[in-house]
Structure formats: C-alpha cells, structure tokens
Amino acid sequence: MANLTRDFFIALSNNQFLNNNAKRWGLRLGAEKFVAGTDLPRAAERVKELNERGISVALDNLGEFVSDRSEAEAAKNQILQVVEYIHEKKLDGHITVKLTQIGLDIDQDFCMDNMREILVKANEYNIFVNVDMEKYIHYQPTLNIVTALHKEYENIGTVLQTYLYRTLDDLKDLENVRLRIVKGAYKESGDVAYQSKEEIDANFMETVKERLQGEAFTSIATHDHHLINQVKKYVEAHQIDKRKFEFQMLYGFRVEMQYALAEEGYHFCTYIPFGDDWYGYFMRRLAERPQNINLVLKDTLYTENNRLKTGAVMAGAAGVAALAFFVGRRSRKNKKLKQL
C-alpha cells in the first residue's frame, strides 16, 4: 500500500492540468505547512525568524512544467529578483533552482545562458546558487551545465541523489563543487536506482563519509534521525571540522529537530519553497511520507474549533475516489501485463 500511495502522489505531481489550476487556488489542501507563502515578502518573514535562530535558508521560487522560452525567461527574472531581495534585505541565505524552470527541456544552451545570468548577479553579491537535481532524464544534462559553469563561477553547486547507483562515481568528478547529498525524491527504475530503503541509506552514509574526507562544503539533507545520528558520530570520531558541512531540512518538517541541531552548534539550513506553483512540490512531499497526509488532513478537515469542514470532506471524498480509480487501473494494468 505504501508504494501505491507513493506512486499515486507522484502521478499527481506530474499532472500538468492540476499543477496549472492550483496556481489559481492559492495555498490549499494544507500546503501552507510545507510552502512558506505564495510571494517573496511572506516567505521572507519566515526567513527572518529562522535567521534570528542562527539558521540560514535556501530559497526556492517554485516552478514546474516550463515549456516555452517566455515562461523560462519569466522564471529567470523572478529568480533574479530573489537574489536582489536577499542582498537588499541582508538575509542569510542562498537560492536553489531547478534547471527545467529556466529552460532545460527547451534548449540546453538557452538554459545555460539563463543560469549564467543568475550566477553573475548572485556572484556580485556573494550569494551561492544551488541547482536542485530532478528526474534521471535531466541528470546528465544538469551535471554538464553545472560542471561547465563551475569553471567560470565558483558560487554554483548541485545535488547528488544516493538512490542512484552512480553517485559514488560522480562524487569523484565533483570533488571541488559544493554539494547537497539527498536520498532522491522521484520514481526511478531499477536500471539506474536502488529500490530498497536499506540500500539507499547505506549509499547515503557511504557518500557522506567519502565526501567529508574532502575539502569542499557539503549539505547533508535528510529528515532521517537515524542517518543524522550516524553522521554526528562519524564527524565526532574523525574530528571533522563543523565548518565543512551543514544539515539541511525542508521548511515545515521536524521543526524542533531543526532548532535543536542549530542549538547544538551545527550549521543548519532550511530549504524554503515559496510561490504559486506549489502543487507538484507539495505532492512529492506527500508521496515521501504517508504521515504527512495525516498531518495535512487534520488541518484541512477541521476548523480551529474542531468542527468538520463540509467542503473539505467533499474534496477528501473526491481524493479517495481518485485513489480507488488509480489503484483499480494499476491492478487492471498489472493483470493485463501478466496475461501478455
């Protein structure tokens, strides 16, 4: 069932129709738990609160399904505004960008030019720019662009996903590039990616240990306290300088643990997504952890006085019907495959 639920929410995250419509809804369905607002000033209020606690941030101006040049240029201009804003308001933070947002699916040279423009502006203000890692189809193009631009600008970094078999090989090629290490959020096939939690976790730890031997800065991005505790022990046992790495978590997740790690003296950075294109990001978070669904259901179904919201019940019923349809369709498809 856990895999079915995951596949269901990943399928919803890939639905362009729902993504486009959600832009008109404002933050709904409990998304405000995980998305810091639909505009920059609202997100900045959260940033200031975190900065006051000694926590830095990675600002992600959300954007999905960019399919023409004007949309990609609009996204680039918005990101440039975020860079200006961080500088102007003296926020402690960097930006994090998805290359598909600025034209990777349209033309790789065009995307690289957009990224270069962002880097030039960010470099002027000494602001770091991280490139999120997306689906495997975008993996090599992303690495190509990041490594090419890193020759010109040092303020660019990217992400390695430890569900991929190739992570440890890529780690060697990226030894001078600032990296965020994550498990990986998309659905990838057994041809390229580990499928079991045990293997992904083991590769996560191996990647982090290997990386901490080198000099470049590393962001260790997970909400998994088992892995965080293993990292802490490893760092202590090998006397690794705390300035060489930080822990990262997503906005709204394990908030108390985020504060505790910062108070323990670890560098900590919260990834803050904001903007009206919140739907795909939110669905991927629901896919990762069924408990997140309970959390948002509670907020979505009940008013502050614990009264049931009628509209929400209708939406919930529609969701259950959609899940039943999805499960039914999948089992019919599986049956068909078995017959072939």
Ligand X SMILES: Cc1cc2nc3c(=O)[nH]c(=O)nc-3n(C[C@H](O)[C@H](O)[C@H](O)COP(=O)(O)OP(=O)(O)OC[C@H]3O[C@@H](n4cnc5c(N)ncnc54)[C@H](O)[C@@H]3O)c2cc1C
Q: Note the residues at the interface with ligand X (CB under 6 A).
A: 132-133, 159, 161, 180, 182-186, 221-224, 248-250, 253-254, 271, 288-289
- Asked whether 301 and 313 are in contact (CB, 8 A), the reply is yes
Q: How far is the CB of 156 from ligand X (least distance, A)?
A: 14
Considering the complex, state which of residue 34 and residue 85 has its C-beta at the smaller distance from ligand X. Answer: 34
Determine the Cα–Cα distance for residues 320 and 327; give it in Å rounded to an integer: 10
User: Which one from 60, 132, 201, 277 is the annotated catalytic residue?
Assistant: 132
Q: Say if strands 268-274 and 56-61 run parallel, antiparallel, or are unpaired.
A: parallel
Q: Specify whether 132 is catalytic.
A: yes
Q: How far is the CB of 270 from ligand X (least distance, A)?
A: 8
Considering the complex, state which of residue 102 and residue 133 has its C-beta at the smaller distance from ligand X. Answer: 133
Q: Specify whether 28 is catalytic.
A: no
- Which of 213, 281, 286 has its CA nearest to residue 244? 213
- Asked whether 287 and 74 are in contact (CB, 8 A), the reply is no
Q: How far is the CB of 21 from ligand X (least distance, A)?
A: 25
Considering the complex, state which of residue 297 and residue 315 has its C-beta at the smaller distance from ligand X. Answer: 297
What is the 3-class SS of 144-155, one letter each residue?
HHHHHHHCCCCC
* Chain center to CA of 51: 20
Q: How far is the CB of 139 from ligand X (least distance, A)?
A: 10
User: Which one from 46, 180, 211, 285 is the annotated catalytic residue?
Assistant: 180
What single-letter DSSP state applies at residue 107? -
Positive or negative CA dihedral for 223, 225, 229, 230?
A: negative
Considering the complex, state which of residue 141 and residue 315 has its C-beta at the smaller distance from ligand X. Answer: 141
Considering the complex, state which of residue 119 and residue 201 has its C-beta at the smaller distance from ligand X. Answer: 201
The two three-digit tokens of residue 60, written as one number? 């992600």
Determine the Cα–Cα distance for residues 179 and 171; give it in Å rounded to an integer: 9
Q: How far is the CB of 296 from ligand X (least distance, A)?
A: 12
Q: Which residues are catalytic?
A: 132, 180
